[in-house]
């Protein structure tokens, strides 16, 4: 480790590392403590965006200002995570709704009650054949 | 100062991984387990980046990028399998 870094750089990188560690810890703590899956989804998404974002920015700053190397791998990782985290959270929520609809007893119902239905009498699109009330005109062909 | 911050980060991510492991074993639903695995991948990416800062080498980030991609594909394929009974239709 290079110990000749300026004090300001050390301060900034240390603050970002501590921030990232705290957010990762809080996200996983929420994963343990919150009552049902729909609530539990909140915790790790914050850990992904803020926690890992802070750690990756700390890495960029450290390698740029203390070591003199310009690397963009970290930014690639954070951009990739920012793009993919909502998609995987959406997929997990879809599986949860799908299994709730089919009365899987192991799935936990939120204290706020089940998810409200979308307008038009349809169900949330998880895995369902097109039926009356499905938006779009692909019924009957 | 960096050394202390790195130690704090390692400790925080380690405790976070232990909490995720608890959720992975406890469940109760299979979706909770997918979410716990996804979060474990995120925390391990953080650990790899911290290792890269600690060792001062840039080679750790290829591993982090690879793990980010493989973790995303794994989560989505698991969810897709549970939704459709198949991964690639």
Cβ pair B61:A73 closer than 8 A: yes
Average pLDDT, chain A: 80
Which of B82 and A131 is assigned the larger pLDDT?
B82
Q: Which of A43, A88, A110, A124 to mutate to test the interface with B (most CBs of B within 10 A)?
A: A88
Instruction: Write the secondary structure of B5-33 as one string of H (helix), E (strand) and C (coil).
Output: HHHHHHHHHHHHHHHHHHHHHHCCCHHHH
Q: CB atoms < 10 A from the CB of A54, how many?
A: 23
Cβ pair B46:A94 closer than 8 A: no
Cβ pair A32:B19 closer than 8 A: yes
Give the residue from chain B lying closest to A11, CA to CA. Answer: B1
**Whole-angstrom Cα distance, residue B38 to residue A96?**
15
What average pLDDT does the segment B35-53 reach? Answer: 92
Residues 106-125 of A with CB under 8 A from B: 106-108
Query: Smallest CA–CA separation between A137 and chain B, in Å?
Result: 22
Confidence of residue A141 (pLDDT cuts 50, 70, 90): very low
Question: Please, are residues A95 and B82 in contact by the beta-carbon 8 Å criterion?
Answer: yes
Is A72 within 8 Å of chain B by CB?
A: no
- In chain B, which residues have their Cβ closer than 8 Å to the Cβ of A29? 16, 19
* B28: preceding bond cis by omega (within 30 degrees): yes
Separation of CA A107 from chain center:
20
- In chain B, which residues have their Cβ closer than 8 Å to the Cβ of A128? none
- In chain B, which residues have their Cβ closer than 8 Å to the Cβ of A43? 39
pTM of the shown model: 0.83
Most confident of B9-18, B57-66, B80-89: B9-18
- What is the number of helices (H) and of strands (E) in chain B? 3, 0
Largest CA distance in chain B: 52
What average pLDDT does the segment B26-36 reach? Answer: 88
* DSSP reduced 3-state for A140: coil
Most confident of A102-111, B20-29, B53-62: B20-29
What average pLDDT does the segment A104-128 reach? Answer: 72
């Amino acid at each position: 480790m290079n110990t000749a870094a300026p004090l300001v750089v050390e301060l900034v990188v240390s603050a970002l590392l501590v921030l990232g560690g705290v957010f990762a810890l809080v996200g996983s703590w929420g994963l343990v403590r919150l009552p049902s899956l729909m609530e539990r989804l909140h915790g790790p998404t914050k850990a992904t965006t803020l926690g890992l974002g802070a750690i990756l920015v700390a890495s960029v700053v450290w390698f740029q200002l203390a070591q003199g190397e310009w690397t963009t791998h970290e930014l690639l990782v954070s951009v990739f995570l920012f793009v993919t985290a909502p998609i995987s959270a959406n997929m997990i929520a879809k599986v949860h709704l799908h299994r709730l609809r089919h009365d899987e007893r192991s799935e936990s119902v939120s204290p706020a009650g089940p998810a409200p239905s979308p307008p038009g009498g349809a169900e949330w699109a998880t895995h369902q054949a097109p039926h009356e009330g499905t938006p779009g005109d692909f019924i009957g062909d | 100062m960096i050394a202390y911050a790195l130690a704090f980060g390692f400790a925080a991510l380690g405790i976070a991984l232990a909490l995720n492991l608890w959720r992975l074993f406890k469940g109760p639903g299979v979706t909770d387990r997918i979410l716990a695995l996804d979060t474990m991948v995120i925390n391990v990416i953080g650990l790899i980046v911290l290792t890269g800062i600690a060792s001062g080498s840039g080679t750790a980030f290829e591993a982090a990028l690879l793990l980010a991609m493989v973790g995303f594909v794994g989560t989505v394929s698991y969810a897709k399998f549970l939704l459709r009974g198949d991964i690639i239709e």
